[in-house]
Structure 1
Amino acid sequence: MAGPGHRLGITEPISWSGPTENDVIKTRELEKFLADVGLYECQEEAISREEVLGRLDQIVKTWVKNVSRAKGLNEQLVHEANAKIFTFGSYRLGVHGPGADIDTLCVGPRHASREEDFFGELHRMLSEMPEVSELHPVPDAHVPVMRFKFSGISIDLLYAKLSLWVIPEDLDISQESILHNADEQTVRSLNGCRVTDQILRLVPNIQNFRTTLRCMKYWAKRRGVYSNVTGFLGGINWALLVARICQLYPNALPNMLVSRFFRVYTQWRWPNPVMLCKIEDGSLGLQVWDPRRYPKDRFHLMPIITPAYPCMNSSYNVSSSTLRIMTDEFQRGSEICEAMDANKSNWEKLSEPYPFFEAYKNYLQIDVSAANADDLRKWKGWIESRLRQLTLKIERHTHDMLQCHPHPGDFSDKSRPLYCCYFMGLQRKQGVPTNEGEQFDIRLTVDEFKHNVGMYSLWKPGMEIRVSHVKQRNLPGFVFPGGIRARPIKMAGEGRRVSLTKVSSHAEDNALPQELNGGSKRKRDDADTATSLRDSKYLAGVGVSGELVHEGRPSGSIGTSYSGNAVVELSGKILSEKVEDNMVYELANTISPPEGPSHSGGESDAFLGLDPSLSSKEAEKLAIEKTFPEELDELEDNPEYKNQAKIWSMKGISMESSSTKRALLVSLTTSTAAGSCSSLQSSGNLKDLEPPELLPPASSLNLATSAPKPVLRFNFTSLAKATSEST
């Protein structure tokens, strides 16, 4: 059991207390629950993974010798030439599940190039092997990657070219010197392995960390907040958050760690950063996360800092909308864990799927289609990597008055094999007075998003995207499990019940897990039930390089077409979480241990340096406050920072006069010429894409105009009559 002399992290732990008998029982229940839901792979699959990794290591060793010989090195150097495979991510952390891919890194010598040798010769070798299938190189991603299946196991393979002539078999990539003379792509490729290994060094008990992380990843996926590309958190983010809780409760079992995860992050004052260790400047001059020096770092909403040099924010994708959603989910988790402590709830309740399609009255639907399966995979990957920009644009262009909830996954329709779609829930910001008939026009916002998507230089005929508004009652059937819509009905003297109604004969049977009647839901607006799904009108399609097109447009035509009235009426109860605008950042400096009694193993002295007369919960709350380092007051007092924050918050927002404050009405633009943005390539690498800068407003892009289009507006006419149900 860890004691005060074994402190990990930038502050003292909140509690040194060990597990109670009840914690032991609840942890066994948690482990059984995780096994029952299928989070552990079987022994046969584990052996297969080890064999594939061993085979892959042999292949890169053969590859580097071939490259060395082809470059004219003598036989002695060819014989000594070596490359080595490392793993990282969920597999290296030991929390992968059945069918999960393996994140791997190939480390090679200075004479084996990325472009010619890794994506050239190694790609050729893999393509000729019968065990390899679905080989897909992505050389232009932020972190270049080669994806494929080897004997049925998915592999993501990165490449790091070191400045060494010979790669030793016992190479330690955790050393800072390994980054010497490395290019940016190599630094980013090495970062995954270095961060993963550092996490395992910085947690007090690896097995407890793994069980807790498995639970939190499963919970996040079920609650719809596991997706880095759409603005939530990915695997590395959740691992860092869990690791920090393990540091704060070093002797706790997973049952308590899960509970304290929600308790701590419900009270966390974002954007204070979560850090496992101090940020070091290092000796190589690489940029690290520091809002005092780098203006962009000041505007990260939920900083989760990687522990390996160069320390970076791993959660730059989080927006105000997705942060609000996650904090709501942390609060829900905390309440359920408290109920579990009183034996009034269970792990199943905690991990109930979020009822996304019952939570909102209005949605944006983004339809994606292509001419063949390969084109759809590439086109879909490109669009998915850009969807976060639509959320950011809507937030900025409406002054955060209109909030988006992106669904982290896509949906398919069995009746349309070369098609998929994405959804975003829409709601007005909570706590702001509503004027009758208030509207927001986001045509310009949608147009800018289409320009962003239209940058795809590998566009092919048949690749199309359409954006439309759809009301909750008109959602397509394939988004519901088995095409069955869960329809809440208010029963006299009882809570809500669910009746099942068949929606579509072409429903996707496995689109979503069966939703349980447990999450909070909005009342359904049953008025105007005669409106059908066919009445949901599309805004536009996008063709090559961003031109907005009709279906079946003549070859070579460029133009825009809108049909129907796309007006969104938003009413109902709004989510309650308010994201603070005041962005005070706090970095970790050396912090002296708090004064107080030494550890003696009991709960009464678990919270060090606090008034013993406080209740356990009060003491823990104050202890959580102590985990925040000293504030960077110079940021708050700096007028340049304040002005810069104001300018940033206005960036990309369309201008409006006082007479049009209630409706941002702008004219829509059309298209750019084909091939105007050929420098950007599809990455498809959703986990590692760096977010590009937002484009300027479409009105400044000197685009041609076309016929007027209907307005996509959000009409808040009934907000005063909002229902009392929580979302």
Structure 2
Amino acid sequence: MASPGFVKRTNGRLGVTEPISLGGPTEFDVIKTQELEKYLADAGLYESQEEAVSREEVLGRLDQIVKNWVKNISRQKGFNEQFVQEANAKIFTFGSYRLGVHGPGADIDTLCVGPRHATREDDFFVELQNMLAEMPEVSELHPVPDAHVPVMKFKFSGVSIDLLYAKLALWVIPEDLDISQDSILQNADEQTVRSLNGCRVTDQILRLVPNIQTFRTTLRCMRLWAKKRGVYSNVLGFLGGINWALLVARICQLYPNALPSTLVSRFFRVYTQWRWPNPVMLCDIEEGSLGLPVWDPRRNFRDRTHLMPIITPAYPSMNSSYNVSASTLRIMTDEFQRGNDICKLMETNKADWNTLFEPYPFFEAYKNYLEIDIAAEDEDDFRNWKGWVESRLRFLTLNIERQTFGKLQCHPHPRDFSEKSKPLHCCYFMGLQRKQGVPSKEGEQFDIRATVEDFKSNVGSYILWKPGMEIHVSHIKQRNVPLFVFPGGMRPSRPPRVSKPKASSLTHSPSHMETFSENGDKSVDMADVSSIRNQFDSVVSVDVEEESKKRKHVEDAASRSLADVKRPAFAKSPETMNTIVHGTNAEESAVVLCAKEAEALDIKNLNGSSSPTVVALPEELDELGDCGIQGKPEEVGVAANGCSADKSDAKDVIMQTGSFGSSNPRNGGIEELEPLELSAPVYSGLPAPTSNAPKKPLIRLRLTSIAAKGTGGSS
């Protein structure tokens, strides 16, 4: 647990607010948690003892290697033998491995901390890299010195390693070095601060949660859920491992005595109601004494543009989720609502863990997709090219959103797909749909060809580009999605309906304060969901001035009812569990309702307590500045946002396709675009970009071929 020197406690609590509930687990919670742990074990989330021992051996071996490395470079730089013998470097771990939630085959995030005379450019990425390259245990060595956080990737005895480097302002690195102290950042360069941040944040999370084991089980659950539902990917605008860890840790602070099954339910309950962009924080943001910039939307304009701030707890505090876009935030909030609906059903044994973890049917959810194909000629080039393209994909999403004024929504799939018959080739996919509730006119279209061309030009500006590195972007209909993306290579004969489980209808009556009705159908009617939300909002939507009085009244009522009502003995049957959860009579039901009202008020208050006011400016996403285009893209003969009218009811997404480094696109040079069930509203009051758009409808489009690095002409 945390020591007083590291974590500030207020009135004995962890976090920036008081807990919502200090209640302990019921027998129902114990049973549900046992079911959850069994589900996670059956899903293969825990590594074997043999693999755990192997990882420890690899880390010990790696620590010895960096110690030898720093002695070698100290000798090469002319230091005396006594100094050489005292020279030291040390390996730290962070991420999922340090948190204790890694699974079989997962990589280990590691940090090498070295002295001031061991440089990153010449010593780490040259001398140490050469040492590793000569070792037979090391394979797939891939240095990335120009990354935002420079890293060296490789496999050591089959274990994947991501190795970062931090150069401290110390001549000798002590073996008992404590990197949690802020003084460790003194005179450190930006790359070192960012590299140290992973370890410092991970350790601080473990200090700020009330029960580490409960936190780990809950986090394993949420990581699995996020991967199943397709919202686990920081690089594509969703949330990565550290983001999910911070969200789960905050729930643990709010319910410090709850078991994992309850924490999962409360995770969805809290974040369904969270009013983004209010930030999620585990502790107060410290200004620090070193003058390093911290997340502060009151001072920093860029911080105001963040849509889903999740703030790291270690100095300097940063927003770990700046990649989130309007589309990915919408997708995640929809998934939180689905999870909340299912957890409500699980409380009455009308759903189970299988329902919660049901994979998202991405390729049945949309009628239109963008397919981004990439290829290279050798493994090293492909690895570099793939990493670069993947890092640019979120800018394609952001630009489509911006240039269609948010009316065309993109859903990027968080992983790539590859066909076994095509080595050194993979595909990414994005689902496309018109924003719901937007009126459209006959014949209106989304023309995203210029946006795609800008994206390809930006990708083609890769400084390590080589002949053979290709990218091809095309629009495909749902029925044309390639078979290799489906399990077993077989397209589902009857695509499942994308739906949410129907939530219980909430009604109130004098004789029974809370009753639930369920028709057994797991598909959801959006009108029912809207009704539920409206009823819930009527409970929590109270004036700020009245909240404290109502909170006290609720607590007093609950206390009186608890004193007067004797709860029946708990039985393990589903019927009894249902009775216990929802009460046996009006008095006990009143207790349940009072507790829920109190919890709802507390959750509402979370969004305003000790958090700076944030103003989101999604139309001015500053991250787009990183996506500048070098050179003028080729003219494609159509306006970036122009619309071509057709007399039919069809609505088209018009898109130009092409590839880098190839003069023979796979579709033979001509692509026929079928009418799409997408409509594009035209903002009549907004100036249209300058273009040479033809006035007649475009059905067949001539493909273009862009020469190496995106600067060539069209064919």
TM category, shorter = 0.7 to 0.9
Distance 2:395 2:185 in 1: 32
Distance 1:712 1:21 in 2: 65
Aligned residue among 99, 109, 115 for 1:103: 109
Aligned residue among 420, 424, 446 for 1:418: 424
For residue 123 of structure 2, what is the amino acid of its counterpart?
Answer: D
For residue 221 of structure 1, what is the amino acid of its counterpart?
Answer: K
Query: How far apart are residue 377 of structure 1 and its match?
Result: 1.7
Distance 2:442 2:591 in 1: 54
Higher helix share: 2
- Is 1:92 the counterpart of 2:92? The answer is no
- Is 1:377 the counterpart of 2:383? The answer is yes
Question: What residue is the counterpart of 1:282 in the other structure?
Answer: 288
- Is 1:226 the counterpart of 2:228? The answer is no
Query: How far apart are residue 111 of structure 1 and its match?
Result: 0.3
Question: What residue is the counterpart of 1:618 in the other structure?
Answer: 597
Query: How far apart are residue 483 of structure 1 and its match?
Result: 1.7
3-state DSSP class of the match of 2:494? strand
CA spacing shift, 1:41–1:30, aligned 2, 3 Å: same
Distance 2:282 2:374 in 1: 40
For residue 625 of structure 1, what is the amino acid of its counterpart?
Answer: K
Kindly indicate whether the alpha-carbon contact (under 8 Å) linking 2:418 and 2:484 is maintained by their aligned counterparts in 1: yes
Kindly indicate whether the alpha-carbon contact (under 8 Å) linking 2:140 and 2:154 is maintained by their aligned counterparts in 1: yes
CA spacing shift, 1:711–1:169, aligned 2, 3 Å: farther
1:191-223: per-residue Cα shift (whole Å, max 9, x none)? 000000000000000000000000000000011
Question: What residue is the counterpart of 1:44 in the other structure?
Answer: 50
Query: How far apart are residue 97 of structure 1 and its match?
Result: 0.3
CA spacing shift, 1:164–1:144, aligned 2, 3 Å: same
- Is 1:198 the counterpart of 2:177? The answer is no
Question: What residue is the counterpart of 1:677 in the other structure?
Answer: none
Aligned runs of 1:340-419 on 2, under 5 Å? 340-419=346-425
Question: What residue is the counterpart of 1:60 in the other structure?
Answer: 66
- Unpaired runs of 5+ residues, structure 1, are 496-516, 523-576, 578-591, 606-610, 674-696, 714-727
CA spacing shift, 1:711–1:235, aligned 2, 3 Å: farther
Aligned runs of 1:89-488 on 2, under 5 Å? 89-488=95-494
1:516-538: per-residue Cα shift (whole Å, max 9, x none)? x989899xxxxxxxxxxxxxxxx
Query: How far apart are residue 671 of structure 1 and its match?
Result: 11
Higher mean displacement: 398-407 or 414-423: 414-423
For residue 463 of structure 1, what is the amino acid of its counterpart?
Answer: M
Kindly indicate whether the alpha-carbon contact (under 8 Å) linking 1:477 and 1:485 is maintained by their aligned counterparts in 2: yes
3-state DSSP class of the match of 2:374? strand
Distance 2:495 2:44 in 1: 33
Runs of 4+ in structure 1 deviating by more than 3 angstroms, as ranges, are 1-5, 517-522, 592-598, 600-605, 611-614, 630-636, 644-660, 662-673, 708-713
Query: How far apart are residue 83 of structure 1 and its match?
Result: 0.4
Kindly indicate whether the alpha-carbon contact (under 8 Å) linking 1:132 and 1:149 is maintained by their aligned counterparts in 2: yes
3-state DSSP class of the match of 1:199? helix
Query: How far apart are residue 163 of structure 1 and its match?
Result: 0.1
Please tell me the root mean square deviation across aligned C-alpha atoms, in Å.
Answer: 4.0
1:629-658: per-residue Cα shift (whole Å, max 9, x none)? 35889877xxxx9xx876669989999799
CA spacing shift, 1:655–1:48, aligned 2, 3 Å: closer
Distance 1:264 1:667 in 2: 40
Q: Percent identity?
A: 71
TM-score by length of 1: 0.74
Question: What residue is the counterpart of 1:683 in the other structure?
Answer: none
Question: What residue is the counterpart of 2:83 in the other structure?
Answer: 77
Query: How far apart are residue 485 of structure 1 and its match?
Result: 1.2
Kindly indicate whether the alpha-carbon contact (under 8 Å) linking 2:222 and 2:264 is maintained by their aligned counterparts in 1: yes
Distance 1:669 1:467 in 2: 5
Distance 2:620 2:203 in 1: 40
3-state DSSP class of the match of 2:492? strand
Kindly indicate whether the alpha-carbon contact (under 8 Å) linking 1:271 and 1:301 is maintained by their aligned counterparts in 2: yes
Query: How far apart are residue 348 of structure 1 and its match?
Result: 1.2
CA spacing shift, 1:158–1:646, aligned 2, 3 Å: closer
Distance 2:466 2:456 in 1: 16
Larger relative contact order (Cα-Cα within 8 Å, sequence gap ≥ 6):
1
Higher mean displacement: 205-214 or 333-342: 333-342
Query: How far apart are residue 666 of structure 1 and its match?
Result: 11
1:236-281: per-residue Cα shift (whole Å, max 9, x none)? 0000000000000000000000000001000000111000000111
Question: What residue is the counterpart of 1:684 in the other structure?
Answer: none
Paired residues, what number?
583
Higher mean displacement: 406-415 or 161-170: 406-415
Query: How far apart are residue 374 of structure 1 and its match?
Result: 2.4
CA spacing shift, 1:602–1:426, aligned 2, 3 Å: farther
Kindly indicate whether the alpha-carbon contact (under 8 Å) linking 2:412 and 2:429 is maintained by their aligned counterparts in 1: yes
TM-score by length of 2: 0.75
CA spacing shift, 1:221–1:664, aligned 2, 3 Å: closer
